[in-house]
Amino acid sequence: MIWLLDLDNTLVGRTEAFVSWASGELDAAGGTADDLAEIVAVDEDGHGSKEALARLLIARLGWDDDVPAAIDRFREGIVAGVRPYDGVLFALDVLRGAGHPVAIVTNGTSAQQRAKIARCGLEGHVDAVVVSGEEGFTKPDPRLLEVALERLGRSDVDRRQVWMVGDAAHADVAAGRAAGTRTAWVSHGRSWAGTDRPDVVAATTREALALAASPPGAVLD
C-alpha cells in the first residue's frame, strides 16, 4: 500500500494549537468565552478566510496590526503550539518499516506548512512532502496527489493500492476520490454527512491507519 496523509488535524493538532493560542491571547486582552467561540467559528479548523479571521482578531484583541501582520501573528502562534498526535509518528514508522511508502499532502503556504512539519519532526518519518503553496493547486485537485505519487516513484501504481487519509471531507476525501484512491476520513468524533461514505471512517488518525492497513498489512500497536 501507499499512504498519502493530510497534515493539519490529521498528523498534527492544528486546531488544538490555534484554540490554545487564541485562548491565551484573549485572556491577556480580557476577552470572553463568546469571543473565543466566534474566533474558532471563523477559523473553521483552518479552512476559513485568513483575512476574515485576522480582522476579527484585530477587533477582539485590540491589535494595532494590519491584516497581513495579524495573519503572520496567528500563524506564528499556531506553529509554536502545534504537536503531532499521540502514536502518529510510531504508526508512520510501522508503515514504512513494512515497506509502505508514505507522503504528506497538505494545503497551505510553504513557509507555514514546512514550519509545522519541522516543529513536529515529521520529515524523518515520511518519504515525501507535497505542499499546495509550492505546487500551484490545492486539494481537492487530484493533481496534488499525483505529484506525491510521482515523488514516491509510484506514478503508475493501481490507485486502489493508494490511501488518502485526512480529516477534511471537502478536501482530503474529495481529492482521493478524484484521484481514484481509497479514502480514510478522520472524524474526530463527527458524523459523516450523506450516504457516500469513505472506505474507512475512524475517530483518530491512528485508528484510521490501523483499519485501512489490516487485514492485510501492518499492525499499528
Among residues 127, 126, 148, 128, which one has the least CA distance to residue 137?
Answer: 148
Distances (CA, A) of 177 to 7, 35, 80, 142, 182: 18, 37, 33, 8, 7
CA 163, 50, 118, 78 torsion-angle sign: negative
pLDDT band at 183 (very low <50, low <70, confident <90, very high): very high
Whether the predicted pLDDT of 216 surpasses 70: no
Whether the predicted pLDDT of 217 surpasses 90: no
- Strands laid side by side in the 182-186 sheet: 128-131, 102-106, 2-5, 162-166, 182-186, 200-202
Residue 195, pLDDT score: 82
pLDDT band at 80 (very low <50, low <70, confident <90, very high): very high
Residue 85, pLDDT score: 98
Whether the predicted pLDDT of 220 surpasses 60: no
Among residues 201, 206, 203, which one has the least CA distance to residue 221?
Answer: 206
- Which of 84-93, 121-130, 132-141, 189-198 shows the lowest mean pLDDT across its residues? 189-198
Task: Write the CATH number of the domain with boundaries 2-13+84-213.
Answer: 3.40.50.1000
Can you give the pTM of this predicted structure? Answer: 0.94
Domain borders along the chain are 2-13+84-213, 14-81
Distances (CA, A) of 133 to 110, 122, 169, 211: 5, 18, 20, 31
Q: Measured between alpha carbons, how far is 141 from 71 in angstroms, rounded to an integer? A: 25
pLDDT band at 194 (very low <50, low <70, confident <90, very high): confident
